[in-house]
Chains A and B, each alone.
Chain A
């Protein structure tokens, strides 16, 4: 179980950044119980989940607040966790291009460094809250990258949400809000409905979607409505609601549903 903190310069962000990469290796459990699991066949690569954090977070959230690394070890799945500030996984015009970074630069960079899967069928994206929004926006931006997109407790209308009265909106430092919404970026940049419209001619290229929100999640109605629109547009969509709210208890429990839904091989895969 290798937890790797990566520090490097990003051309899309024009600055140094960090991400966490988890790669399954011989675990203490493998060692103690002689499971015989194989991690070292050089002809193989690891299926990879890009796992996105929410607002007010960073790349350490998922490994610190959930058991994702243990679940991924069991599934022989590599997990990539980037840091994007509160950018909603968008390219900030003239600034740090977080959308380009997550959907293009980072996968290519990490595939060059590590034995991570390159083929779309073995690459997945998921996220919670703003990260769920991010997973969707990345899937529209670059449908060729990921074959599955899982949205946990996701939000849809990031612009309207961030102009509302919830603490979630009010607590974002005003100057950062201004960077996102009052500078060179308009409301439409954040509008998933518009992004879906723009992709309408290529609906068949989009990944399969999975939505999971707690029954008490404030964003649930909105995101499930959007899931319905995706399905109506012709996308493959699965939905699930379980008791729970917008909390790490929920995300730690239900990330396992996402792993169940993904087509995981349970071992390293051969990509010819």
Chain B
């Protein structure tokens, strides 16, 4: 279980930043329990899952607060965790270009410096809360790059999230968007992104959407799910009792990984 903390200069952001990368490597569990370590060999290229943090967070959250490394070791996948501030994964109107950073620069560096697959069918993206939206947004903006996107407790309806105007919000919408009141129907709006892809008859990644039934974003997720289904887009909806917290995400990412790595077409039915 190899864990790599990368500190480097980001040309897109214009400052030094961090990326955390997990690579499945031979470990003590394999020795003690007589498991095969033959997957780790010269020239190997692992499936890769980019994992996005939520608001208030950074690249260290997922590894610190969930068992995701262990789950990825079991499935022999690389994890990539980068930091995107409270940008909502946008190229900010005033601030960092985090959309370009996450969608273009990070994969370019990872594919050069780590043993990851470049195949679409082995490239995935997931995230929680702000990052749940981010995973859908990036995958729909780069549908030829990612074959699947996973949103856990995502703020998937960004226009609705801006309207909601939550008091806890760390988002300075006036800095994120030039015109935060008119985000609906722009490329930041995943419903618009889907509509465009449908219109252009382009491929759409497999989608997995999960939310806890006691989450303050539950109603938003249910209604987004209905909207996406009504567009005729395939999406798997998953829910369980739970709130907007790491207990939900630690369990939810396991269900999402089970969905991700099971053969296409055998996915559990949405509700």
Contacts and interface: CB of A to CB of B under 8 A. Distances in A.
A7 B6 contact: no
Contacts of A111: 42
Contact of B113 (A9, A108, A109, A115): A115
Nearest to B8: A2
Contacts of B25: 8-9, 109, 113
A45 B109 CA distance: 14
A7 B114 CA distance: 15
Interface in A1-37: 1-9, 11, 23, 25-28, 31
Contact of B4 (A6, A39, A40): A6
Interface residues of A, number: 26
B3 interface: yes
Contacts of A6: 2-4
Interface in B1-57: 1-9, 11, 14, 16, 23, 25-28, 31, 40-44
B108 interface: yes
B-side interface mostly: mixed
B83 to A, nearest CB: 15
B9 A7 contact: no
Contacts of A8: 1-3, 25
Contact of B112 (A4, A5, A42): A42
A112 interface: yes
A1 B8 CA distance: 5
B242 interface: no
Contacts of A109: 25
13 contacts: A3-B8, A5-B5, A7-B3, A8-B1, A9-B25, A28-B16, A109-B25, A112-B115, A113-B23, A113-B25, A114-B114, A115-B112, A115-B113
Interface of A: 1-9, 11, 23, 25-28, 31, 39-40, 42, 108-109, 111-115
Interchain residue pairs A-B with the least CB separation, the first 8 = A2-B8, A8-B2, A5-B5, A7-B3, A3-B7, A9-B27, A4-B6, A31-B11
Interface of B: 1-9, 11, 14, 16, 23, 25-28, 31, 40-44, 108-109, 111-115
Given A7-B2, A11-B31, A114-B113, 18 more contacts: A1-B8, A2-B6, A2-B7, A3-B8, A4-B7, A5-B5, A5-B7, A8-B25, A9-B27, A25-B109, A25-B113, A27-B9, A31-B11, A39-B112, A112-B43, A112-B44, A115-B112, A115-B113
